[in-house]
């Protein structure tokens, strides 16, 4: 999720962004001429399929967690570099890039979260909950971009790259120590379950908080705009009234002149 329309202000301030930006710029400078942003977007899509298949295959062996983590790295490479390469070469197709990038991102998210639910590490209902939370935050980004022209993909200095890092760490942790099961009053949950639940709660919380804050911001903005509109209408009405008053005065002066001419004609000397 790294492309935005040219008219939008991009906000991507995360913990890893300073390093990530330098790496992406270096990669864009050294990318072979035959590689295009569309190739990188397709690579990111392929990586998501690789992640999903690897997670499903963990039902056979946990070693496939490493292949899934490799897929995460490839996905970062393709998904993050496509927009950087387009901007570096000055070949941005803002509308096409915005649409394709986020349509593909949405499909990637569905594939990965459903695969997590099929894997032996996360319950399907929790994976579905996390998918809903992630898509809600995506909708939050798109809505704010539409109404305010600000494309914000980082919240509390956390963005897609940080989430990818968490997934790689979780895969390594589960591979080495297993996926311990914890019994609670609500049922049995694994370590990966708790991680997914924590991410879901953070995303839902961020969505609710951002909705409230932005609703207040936009309400204040609309109130201000309505006040400006009302002031313009008032001044327009005042100018219209002033023009009408001036027109009435001109008409009155013309009428007085006509009457004066008529009176002079009646009283002119020598007329019997």
Q: How confident is the model at residue 7 (pLDDT cuts 50, 70, 90)?
A: low
Closest CA to 164 of 81, 83, 68: 68
2 vs 197, more confident: 197
CB atoms under 10 Å from CB of 82, counted, come to 27
Instruction: Give the mean model confidence (pLDDT) for residues 21-49.
Output: 95
pLDDT of residue 121: 93
Mean pLDDT of the chain: 88
- For residues 33 and 244, give the distance between their C-alpha atoms in angstroms, rounded to a whole number: 68
Phi first, then psi, for residue 122 (nearest 5°) are: -135, 135
> What was the pLDDT predicted at 272?
47
Spatial CB neighbours of 160, under 8 Å, sequence gap ≥ 6: 1, 2, 79, 80, 153
Residue 167: which of 79, 41, 75 has the closest Cα? 75
Q: How far apart are CA 178 and CA 163, in angstroms?
A: 21
CA distance 112 to 119: 10
CA–CA distance, 238 with 222 (Å, rounded to integer):
24
Q: With 0.75 as the threshold, say if the pTM is over it.
A: yes
Average pLDDT value for residue range 216-228: 92
User: Which residue carries 């349509």 as its tokens?
Assistant: 103
Split at pLDDT 50, 70, 90, the class of 54 is very high
Task: Check whether 271 has a pLDDT greater than 60.
Answer: no
Q: Is residue 234 exposed (0-12), middle (13-18) or buried (19+ Cβ within 10 Å)?
A: exposed
Residue bearing the bigger pLDDT, 145 or 261: 145
List the one residue out of 234, 15, 3 whose CA is nearest residue 98.
3
Give the total residue count for the chain. 272
pLDDT at residue number 266: 64
Q: What is the pLDDT of residue 40?
A: 95
The stretches of the chain forming alpha helices (DSSP H) are 17-30, 37-57, 64-89, 94-118, 124-148, 160-177, 191-266
CB 97 within 8 A of CB 86: yes
Quote the distance between the C-alpha of residue 238 and its chain's center: 43
Is the pLDDT reported for residue 94 higher than 70? yes
DSSP code of residue 36: -
Residue 126 pLDDT class (50, 70, 90 cuts): very high
pLDDT of residue 8: 65
Distance, CA of 113 to CA of 129 (rounded, Å): 9
User: Can you say whether the dihedral through the CA atoms of 44, 86, 31, 80 is positive or negative?
Assistant: negative
Res. 114: pLDDT tops 90: yes
* pLDDT at 263 > cutoff 80: no
Residue 6 has pLDDT above 50, yes or no: no
Q: What is the pLDDT of residue 201?
A: 93
User: Residue 56 has what pLDDT?
Assistant: 97
């Amino acid at each position: 999720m790294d492309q935005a329309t040219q008219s939008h202000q991009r906000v991507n301030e995360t913990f890893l962004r300073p390093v990530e930006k330098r790496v992406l710029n270096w990669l864009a400078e050294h990318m072979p001429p035959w590689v295009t942003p569309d190739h990188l977007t397709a690579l990111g899509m392929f990586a998501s399929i690789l992640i999903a298949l690897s997670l499903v295959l963990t039902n056979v062996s946990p070693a496939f967690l490493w292949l899934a983590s490799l897929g995460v790295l490839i996905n970062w490479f393709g998904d993050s570099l496509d927009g950087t390469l387009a901007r570096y070469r000055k070949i941005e197709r803002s509308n096409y890039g915005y649409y394709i990038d986020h349509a593909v991102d949405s499909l990637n998210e569905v594939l990965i979260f459903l695969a997590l639910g099929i894997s032996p590490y996360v319950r399907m209902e929790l994976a579905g909950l996390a998918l809903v939370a992630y898509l809600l935050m995506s909708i939050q980004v798109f809505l704010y971009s539409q109404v305010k022209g600000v494309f914000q993909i980082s919240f509390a200095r956390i963005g897609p790259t940080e989430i990818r890092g968490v997934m790689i760490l979780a895969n390594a942790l589960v591979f080495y120590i297993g996926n311990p099961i914890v019994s609670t009053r609500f049922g049995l949950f694994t370590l990966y379950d708790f991680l997914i639940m924590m991410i879901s709660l953070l995303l839902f919380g961020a969505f609710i908080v951002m909705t409230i804050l932005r609703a207040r911001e936009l309400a204040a903005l609309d109130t201000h705009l309505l006040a400006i509109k009302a002031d313009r209408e008032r001044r327009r009405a005042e100018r219209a009234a002033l023009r009408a008053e001036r027109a009435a005065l001109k008409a009155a002066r013309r009428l007085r002149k006509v009457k004066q001419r008529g009176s002079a004609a009646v009283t002119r000397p020598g007329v019997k």
